Structure 1
Amino acid sequence: MTETLASTSSPTATSGGTPPPEAAWINAYERLSPRWQSSALSPQSVIPIAISRVNQVDAGRLDIEMSAMLKEQMVKVFSVMKPGLLFQYEAELDAFLEFLIWRFSIWVDKPTPGNALMNLRYRDERATDMRGKIRTGLEGPGLTVYQKILYCIATVGGQYIWTRLQSFSAFRQWGDSEQRTLARRAWLIVQRIEGLYKAASFTNLLVFLFTGRYRNLIERALRARLVYGSPHMNRAVSFEYMNRQLVWNEFSEMLLLLLPLLNSSTMKNFLSPFSKDKASGSSGDETLCPICQTNPTTVYLALPCQHRYCYYCLRTRCAATPSFRCSRCSEPVVAMQRHGGSVP
C-alpha cells in the first residue's frame, strides 16, 4: 500500500519540488478504498466468544430456586388460613410469582436473579449484525417489547394453562376407557402434545449442548439468546461449599455401608494394643463376670479360654447365639464348665 501511494506521487514531489495535484490523492483514495473496506470486513476481524453452557444451565436452576424460596415465604403468610385452601390455588400462586419475576427483571431490561448471578443477559439475536463488525457475545440490543410480551405469555400463561389442563383432565378422568369418546380423544391429544413437546425439548437440549445457544424452545422461538452482561465479571456463585458437602455425604454413605460388614470383636482386638486402659485390666478384674460386671456366686468357665462367667449370663448368651464368643478375648466358646465341676 505504501508503494502504491509512492507511485502516485510525481518525481518532483519526492525531490522536494512542487506538490502533486489534488486529483492524484483522490484517485489513490478511490483505488485503495475497496481494499480497506474488504480488510475491515474480513472474517479475521471477528472475535467469536462462546457463552458457557454451565453458566446458562446454572442460571435457569437458580431462577427455579428463587421461585421456590418466594413460594415458601408466600405459603408462610397464609399459614393461619384453613388447611388445604392454598393447595387449590397452587397453580395461580406459581403463575403470580413467575409474573412478578418477569415484571421486575425482563420487562424493565434487567436480568433475572439467576442470570444476574451468572453475569448473563438476554439479547435480541435478530437485530444483531452478524457481518463481523462486533464481538459476538458482548454487544447487541436487548429484547423488544414484542419479545418480552411473548416471553411472558409463553412462560407464565403457557405453564399455567398446561397445569390446569392436566389437573382438570385427571379430575374428570378423561383417560378412563369407560368415558365417552370425545373425552377419550381429548386425553389422547393432550398426551400426544406432551410427548411431542418432550421430544422437541430433548432435541433442543442436544442442539444446545452442541452450539451453546438457546436453552429451551421458548428462547429458540423468540431468538432470545443469553450473552454475557459484562466482559470483565466472573459468575458470582461459588460451588466450593457444595463440593465439600457432596464429598462428606458420599463419605458418610460409604461408612454406613461398610461399618455393618465389619466384625466388632475383630476391630476391638485390633485396637486393644493401642488402648490407654490396657494396664488397668489387672488379674483382679478377671474375677468379675465380663457381661454383668458382678462377682458370680455360681462360677462357670468358658472353654477353652477359661474366663469366668456367672451362670445366668453364660446360659442366656449361649442360648441366644449359637456361635457365642468370649467377651474378653473374642474366642469362640465351645462349652461351659462349672468351676470345680464337669463340662455341662
Structure 2
Amino acid sequence: MSKNFWSNEWLKAQTKLSEIRQSLGTFPSPPLRIMRVSQLDADLLDNELFGMLKEQLLTAFGLFSPNFKETFEPELLAVLQFVLYRFSIYESGATYGAQLQNMKYRNEKRHVGGLQSTSADEPLSKFQRISYGALTVGGQYVWMRLNRLMTAQGWGELAENDIRRVFWKFMQKVENIYRTLSLANFLFFLYDGNANASKLNNPYETNCGHKYCYYCIKSKLIFEDGTWQCLRCGEEVKSVQRAIEIVNDDNGFNTNHVDGNAE
C-alpha cells in the first residue's frame, strides 16, 4: 500500500477521532478509591506525632511556673497545631502521616467533570488551605478557650434570662448536635460500609482458607500474641499468606491474580 493510502485513511479518521475526544467530557469520572488502611495509618501517625510534641512542649513550659502550663495550654497547643499545619497542609497539601503513606488532599471541585478531569491531581486552592487551617487550628482553639471561660466563671449556674446562660446552653446544644452527627455517621457506616460490599484491598488467606485484609488479620495476630480464632469457622489462625487465584483464560494459559473477594 502506498503512503498516500495511509495518509487518506488518517485524514478520514480525524472526524471520528475528534468526536471521540469531545465525548470524553461526557463520560463520568471513575470513583476515587483510597485504602482505608492507609488513611487509618496516616491518622494514627499524625496523632502520635502531635501527642509526642505536645507532651514535650507542655513539659518544657511547665518548668517556668506551676500555673503557666495550665493557664496558657490552649495557646500553646494552637501554636503547635499551626506550625504543623503551616509546614504540612499549607505547604504540600498533605499531613506528615499522609505523606508517609503517599497520600495527599486534592481539589475535588476540579475533579467533578468528565473523564478528562482525572488526568492529573489538582492541588488544594489557597482558599481551601486557609479555610482548613482556620477551622482546625482556629476552631479548636476558640472552642477550648470558650469552654474554659464558661467553666471558670460558672455560666451554667447563672439565671435563666442571663445572656451568658443562654450562650452556655447554645454551646451545649452545638456540642450535642456534633456528637449526634458523629454517631449517625458511624451508624451509616455500619449500614452501608460492611466488608462484603466491595472487594478486599491487599487480601490475605489464613491457614483455614478464609480471606481478610492484610491490616485486619496482621493486627489481630499481633495483639493476640500470634494466634487468633477465625471469625468464619472458629479455627485457630496461626499463619497467613497472600491470596492468589489461578485463572484459565480463553487460550488455555494460566494467569495468577490477586483475589480480593471477601468471604
Provide TM-score, normalisation by structure 2: 0.63
2:98 is aligned with 1:120: no
Is the 1:98–1:156 contact (alpha carbons within 8 Å) kept by the matching residues of 2?
yes
Please tell me the residue identity of whatever aligns with 2:63: V
Distance 1:31 1:79 in 2: 74
RMSD of equivalent CA atoms: 3.8
2:108 is aligned with 1:131: no
Partner secondary structure for residue 192 of structure 1 = helix
1:103 shift after superposition: 0.8
Q: In structure 2, what is the equivalent of residue 196 of structure 1? A: 177
2:45 is aligned with 1:62: yes
Q: Which has the larger radius of gyration?
A: 1
Gaps of 5+ in 2: 194-214, 229-263
Partner secondary structure for residue 111 of structure 2 = coil
Alignment of 1:217-296 (within 5 A): 243=220, 246-248=223-225
Gaps of 5+ in 1: 1-13, 212-237, 252-344
Change over 3 Å in CA distance of 1:242–1:82 after alignment to 2: farther
Change over 3 Å in CA distance of 1:43–1:175 after alignment to 2: same
Please tell me the residue identity of whatever aligns with 1:74: L
Is the 1:109–1:143 contact (alpha carbons within 8 Å) kept by the matching residues of 2?
no
2:140 aligned to which of 159, 165, 188: 159
Distance 1:24 1:55 in 2: 49
2:20 is aligned with 1:36: yes
Provide TM-score, normalisation by structure 1: 0.49
1:41 shift after superposition: 5.5
Partner secondary structure for residue 105 of structure 2 = strand
Distance 1:33 1:244 in 2: 54
1:97 shift after superposition: 0.8
Please tell me the residue identity of whatever aligns with 1:120: M
1:24 shift after superposition: 9.3
Distance 1:250 1:82 in 2: 50
Change over 3 Å in CA distance of 1:127–1:31 after alignment to 2: closer
Percent identity of the aligned residues?
Answer: 30
Distance 1:132 1:173 in 2: 57
Q: In structure 2, what is the equivalent of residue 181 of structure 1? A: 162
1:47 shift after superposition: 5.2
Distance 2:184 2:159 in 1: 36
Distance 1:249 1:80 in 2: 44
Q: How many residues align?
A: 204
